[in-house]
Structure formats: C-alpha cells, structure tokens
Amino acid sequence: MDVTLTKVHGSENAFFILDQTKLAHRLSEAELKQVTQQVTDRKTGLAGGADGVLYVDDSDHPQASGKMRVINADGSEASMCGNGIRTVARYLSEQKQQTDFKIETMYADLNVKQAQDLAPQVKTFQAEISPVSFKAEDLGMHIADLPALHHVKIPALSKQLAFTAVAVPNPHLISFVDHATLLGPELGRIAGYLNDGANPYFPDGVNVSFVEILGPDHIFVRTFERGVGFTNACGTGMSAASLIYVLEQGGHFEQTITVRNPGGMVKTLVHETPAATYWMELIGNATFVGTATLSLAALLAGDFSQTQFVKSAEQPAYQNFVNRLN
Ligand SMILES: N[C@@H](CCC[C@H](N)C(=O)O)C(=O)O
C-alpha cells in the first residue's frame, strides 16, 4: 500500500501532513513517534526533513471537520501548533470543500478559515489560538513556587532579561530584547538549558521566544522550540508574543500586529473576552511544497530511497513574497 505525505510550511516552519484516514489502519503510538523521527531528520529524512509531523484524522466531535495531532521532530507530542494548523486547515478545506470550520486539537476545537492571500499564489489561512493560561500548573513550570510569571527576572537564567510565561495552550517563555540580544547566543543558551530534560524549572521543556519591537504593532520573534530547537518561526510563539506585547508593551487589543520572523511574516490579532481571558488569531501562509509517495513498509522502515517527491509551484511564489518584505 502507498502512502502520500504532503510537505508544507507556515513561515518556513516545515511539516509533513500524514492523513491517517487514507491508511488501511491507523499508526500505533510507537509508529507515530518512530515515523516522525525518521521523516523529519534534516540529514537522512524525507525531502530534506522537517520540524514535525501533523497527523490528520477524523474527529468524533460533531462540530469539528477533522482532528490534528502534532508530533515534534524528537517524537514528543505538542498540544498545539499555530503554523501547522493553518496548513492542516488548508488540507481539510480542499478535502472537504469548506472555508470556515473547526479542527479538533488536544485541548480545544479551534476555528480556522481561509483568508485573503498574503501575496499572489501565497495561500493564506487564519486560526484561533486558545485557550490561554498563565498558571504554573498549565505551563509545567516550577519557579520558586510562583503561581505565574509576569515580566520577572530569573537570575539562574539571565541577570538582565525579564520573562513572562504563558500557555496557549503549549508552554511559552517570552522576553523582549534589543536587536543584538535577539540575534546573539543567549536564546540558544537559555532555551537549550530549559529543554535539557534535567533542569528544575521546566522539566518537560518550554518554547522560548525573544521579541524585538520594530515599531508600533510591528515585532520580530525568534523562537527555540521544545522538541525541535531553533525553527524559522513558531506560530503559537508569535501569538503568545503578540499577547504579551499588548499586555506589557503598549500594544492594543483588536489591532492587527505584523509579526516578522526568520522565515517570513504573519499577522496576529489579540482579543480579550468579557471574562478577562484572552485569545488570538494567527493569519499566515499555508504553503504546500510538494508530495512524497512511498510504500507504507518503506515509511515504517525509514527507507526513502524509492520515494517519489513531486514539487508544487508554490515555493517560488512564497520566496518572492519574502524577498519583497526585505
Ligand atoms: N511550531 C509550532 C509549535 C510546535 C510545538 C512546540 N514545539 C511544542 O512542543 O510546544 C507552532 O507553529 O506553534
């Protein structure tokens, strides 16, 4: 039996979509982990590897058109993926001929919809990012018994930088920095330590983002992701950074924020509910790079020597879009 994986990206945060409904039988939990580690490997993986695999399946929630599970490159599971859900939204939209629907994720059924293309031939989708929590227990955070972390210096991490922790619902640590710090070694040092599996603060790891304010409603976000390392962009990280920009740095609710990242650009909107909770909208590209077809046996064995990879025409259009940003 042949399997097709679609290579996709949102701001060059790259994934494979594997639709479990097209398989004769669902992959086991061990196979999900093993297949992800094998196909994402940047040296030996499929079509240049990726940052994770997005497993699509039917949802048994009547209001959802499908379900997404996110497995990071190291085989760990994430509760959400902001760049990934836009590509899954596009995939399901084309499969089911819908433009505005819900996708089941680990903690919530999230609204997604097709949006106006960011540029010619740059298909664009928007996704709800929620639920939001600042609670240490939702973040898997253990810092001096603090119930939450709002703009606090943690000397064990850095004497200069202040951090805010927020789950959206995957965990993020955000720090606003100057340009030199954004590009310097501190992000790798701090995030590497917090994702070493042995530190006392985030034993299960955390996504860490440094944010530079470029102008009013204009920020740059660089992220080191849990389970992956540095990525070109992290959608939930950019959504979390936008929320903290509004709450701590003078940004505004209901105002479009332009978020640059090493792989391109997205737009976000931050909303406050009457109950003083928050949710975000993330708007960005959902680019299909190509499709890989191979036998299920080869996929499970991690043998990509006979894989047929057919490129789409979308990547040059995306690159034009990025070139015009600079
Ligand atoms: N790249 C994603 C986030 C993927 C999950 C993350 N690494 C985690 O473990 O929480 C995004 O675009 O949000």
pLDDT confidence of residue 321 = 98
CA distance 75 to 134: 26
φ, ψ dihedrals at 153, nearest 5°: -85, 135
Look at residue 234 and give its three-state secondary structure: coil
pLDDT confidence of residue 272 = 98
Give yes or no: 271 in active site: no
ipTM computed for the complex: 0.98
261 lines ligand 1 (CB under 6 A): no
Is the pLDDT assigned to residue 274 strictly greater than 90?
yes
172 lines ligand 1 (CB under 6 A): no
pLDDT confidence of residue 254 = 98
pLDDT confidence of residue 78 = 98
| Residue of 323, 301, 213, 321 whose CA lies nearest to 34 | 301
Strands 122-129 and 152-153, bridge-based pairing: unpaired
Per-residue pLDDT band at 193 (split at 50, 70, 90): very high
Is the pLDDT assigned to residue 93 strictly greater than 90?
yes
pLDDT confidence of residue 326 = 82
Give yes or no: 234 in active site: yes
Residue 131: cis peptide before it, omega within 30 degrees of 0: yes
Longest dimension (CA), the chain: 56
Look at residue 324 and give its three-state secondary structure: helix
**Percentage of the chain exceeding pLDDT 70:** 100
Strands 13-19 and 52-57, bridge-based pairing: parallel
pLDDT confidence of residue 138 = 98
CB 236 within 8 A of CB 107: no
Instruction: Single out the catalytic residue among 68, 81, 122, 177.
Output: 81
Single-letter code of the amino acid located at 74 = D
The reply to whether 83 sits in an annotated binding site is yes
Question: Which residues on neighbouring strands pair with residue 282, listed in sequence order?
Answer: 127, 268
Between the CA of 4 and the centroid of ligand 1 the distance, in Å, is 23
CA distance 260 to 215: 11
Per-residue pLDDT band at 185 (split at 50, 70, 90): very high
Mean pLDDT of 133-142: 98
- DSSP letter at 256 equals -
Question: Could you tell which of 12, 36, 80 is best to mutate to test the pocket of ligand 1, judged by most ligand atoms within 8 Å of the CB?
Answer: 80
Per-residue pLDDT band at 251 (split at 50, 70, 90): very high
227 lines ligand 1 (CB under 6 A): yes
Is the pLDDT assigned to residue 43 strictly greater than 90?
yes
- Domains annotated on the chain, with CATH: 2-129+286-325 (3.10.310.10), 136-281 (3.10.310.10)
- Statement: the pTM of the whole predicted model exceeds 0.90: yes
Instruction: Single out the catalytic residue among 103, 168, 173, 234.
Output: 234
What is the per-residue pLDDT across 204-222, written as a single tens digit (0 to 9) for each? Answer: 999 999 999 999 999 999 9
Is the pLDDT assigned to residue 107 strictly greater than 90?
yes
